[in-house]
C-alpha cells in the first residue's frame, strides 16, 4: 500500500534533526508524532521554528521519544511503498531518526510522490492512449492538475503536508479516470 510521509525538522542545516513525522496511507489512515530529541540532537534554528511553529520546549514536554517513534514507524511502515514530496530531505530526517534509534538507515526507504502520481496516471490511461502518445498525455494531465489546483502553500506541519500529498495523488487518479472515460467515448 502507498503511504505518504512528511517530516518537519529543527533546521535545514547539516546538523538538522527530525522533530515531527506523519504518514497517511492511501486508504486515509494516518498517524502523527512530535519527536522528543535524542540526547545528542542539539541543533535548533529559530527561523525554522518560525515556519513550523513547534517550539523546542514543546518537543521536550509533549514529544514521543525518538526511539519509540522509530520503532513505531518500522512496525507500521515496513513492507509499504513510502512516498515523500521531497525524498532527499525527508530521507535525511528518516535516516537520522532510524540511526539514532539503532536501526540501519535503509530499514525504511522513500520514493518520490511525483513518480507515484505519474505511475498512477500511466496505469489508468495506458489502455486507452496509444503507446507513442502515452508519456506526453500523462505529462499534460499532470501539468493540468497543477494549473487547475495550484498547490497551496504548505502548512509545514507533517500531517497536513502528508494529507495534501495524498489528496494530490487522488486528484491525479480521478483526472486520469475522467480523461480515460472521455477518450473511450470519443474513440
Per DSSP, 107 falls in state S
- Structural domain spans, the chain: 2-112, 113-186
pLDDT value for 42: 94
Give tens-digit pLDDT for 44-86: 999 999 999 999 999 999 999 999 999 999 999 999 999 999 9
Query: How do strand 2-9 and strand 18-25 relate by DSSP bridges?
Result: antiparallel
pLDDT band at 187 (very low <50, low <70, confident <90, very high): low
The pLDDT assigned to 146 comes to 76
Q: What are phi and psi of 6, to 5 degrees?
A: -145, 145
Specify the CATH class of 2-112 in words.
alpha beta
Residue 113 has pLDDT above 60, yes or no: yes
What is the pLDDT, as a whole number, of residue 122?
98
Residue 76 burial (CB count, 10 A): 15
Predicted local confidence at residue 144, as pLDDT: 87
Q: Do residues 145 and 175 lie in contact, with contact meaning Cβ atoms separated by under 8 Å?
A: yes
pLDDT (0 to 100) of residue 77: 98
Cα–Cα nearest to 115, from 87, 157, 89, 136: 87
Q: Give the residue carrying C-alpha cell 514507524.
A: 73
DSSP bridge partners of 2 = 81
Average pLDDT of span 83-90: 95
Confidence of residue 181 (pLDDT cuts 50, 70, 90): very high
pLDDT tens-digit map of 122-178? 999 999 999 999 999 999 999 988 765 555 566 789 999 999 999 999 999 999 999
pLDDT recorded at residue 151: 54
84: which strand partners? Answer: 112
CA dist 79 and 108 (Å) reads 9
Q: In what side-by-side order are the strands of the sheet with 64-65?
A: 64-65, 30-36, 18-25, 2-9, 81-84, 110-112
Amino acid at each position: 500500500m502507498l503511504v505518504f510521509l512528511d517530516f518537519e525538522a529543527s533546521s535545514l542545516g547539516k546538523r538538522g534533526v527530525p522533530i515531527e513525522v506523519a504518514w497517511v496511507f492511501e486508504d486515509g489512515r494516518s498517524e502523527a508524532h512530535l519527536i522528543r530529541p535524542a540526547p545528542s540532537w542539539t541543533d535548533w534554528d529559530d527561523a525554522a521554528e518560525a515556519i513550523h511553529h513547534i517550539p523546542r520546549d514543546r518537543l521536550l514536554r509533549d514529544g514521543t521519544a525518538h526511539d519509540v517513534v522509530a520503532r513505531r514507524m518500522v512496525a507500521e511502515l515496513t513492507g509499504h511503498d513510502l512516498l515523500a514530496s521531497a525524498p532527499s530531505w525527508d530521507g535525511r530526517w528518516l535516516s537520522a531518526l532510524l540511526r539514532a534509534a539503532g536501526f540501519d538507515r535503509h530499514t525504511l526507504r522513500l520514493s518520490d510522490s511525483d513518480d507515484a502520481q505519474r505511475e498512477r496516471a500511466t496505469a489508468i490511461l495506458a489502455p486507452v492512449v496509444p503507446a507513442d502518445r502515452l508519456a506526453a498525455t500523462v505529462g499534460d494531465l499532470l501539468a493540468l492538475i497543477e494549473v487547475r489546483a495550484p498547490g497551496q502553500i504548505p502548512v509545514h506541519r507533517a500531517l497536513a503536508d502528508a494529507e495534501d500529498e495524498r489528496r494530490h495523488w487522488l486528484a491525479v487518479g480521478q483526472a486520469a479516470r475522467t480523461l480515460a472515460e472521455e477518450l473511450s467515448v470519443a474513440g
